[in-house]
Amino acid sequence: MTEQTTETTRRRRKRKPLDVHAEGLALLAETLAASRKKLEWCAENDVPVDAAQVSANVSLLKLLETMRHVDDDDKDKETAALVAGFHAKTAERAARPTAAPTKEDLLAEYGLSPDRYPTPSI
């Protein structure tokens, strides 16, 4: 009699790639909302805002400004790449001949012989 081994096999789940930029923006938005609520609560209840809260708010504003500049830089790079691609295609189109190709040119392009495909007489 043979012994059967009962080894468990583990399946690994595919992990979704983490979008750090999106996660960071979401966390920043939640932090900003919580900070705003705390400031409103302090104003409603006549509680003075401590220096740590002010410092945290200034840091949040700096982070927002930095994120805005990073987004603008990314958009500028993408736009520049798109513009360069457009100009390259435009230059390529301009270099092409504008006259309609002749029958001989078309036959030569496709490797066909003119005597095999004569011009039909109407």
Looking at residue 45, its pLDDT comes to 93
Task: Give pTM, 2 decimals.
Answer: 0.40
Tell me: the pLDDT tens digits for 75-119?
Answer: 777 788 888 888 888 888 778 777 788 888 888 888 888 777 666
Reported confidence tier of residue 7, pLDDT bands at 50, 70, 90: low
With beta carbons less than 8 A apart as the criterion, state whether 65 and 100 touch.
no
Looking at residue 11, its pLDDT comes to 77
Phi-psi region of 41 (alpha: psi -120 to 50; beta: other; left: phi over 0): alpha
CA distance 113 to 40: 84
Looking at residue 118, its pLDDT comes to 67
CA distance 106 to 96: 15
With beta carbons less than 8 A apart as the criterion, state whether 114 and 102 touch.
no
Tell me: the pLDDT tens digits for 29-76?
Answer: 888 888 889 889 988 999 888 888 888 888 888 887 887 777 676 677
- DSSP class of residue 38 equals H
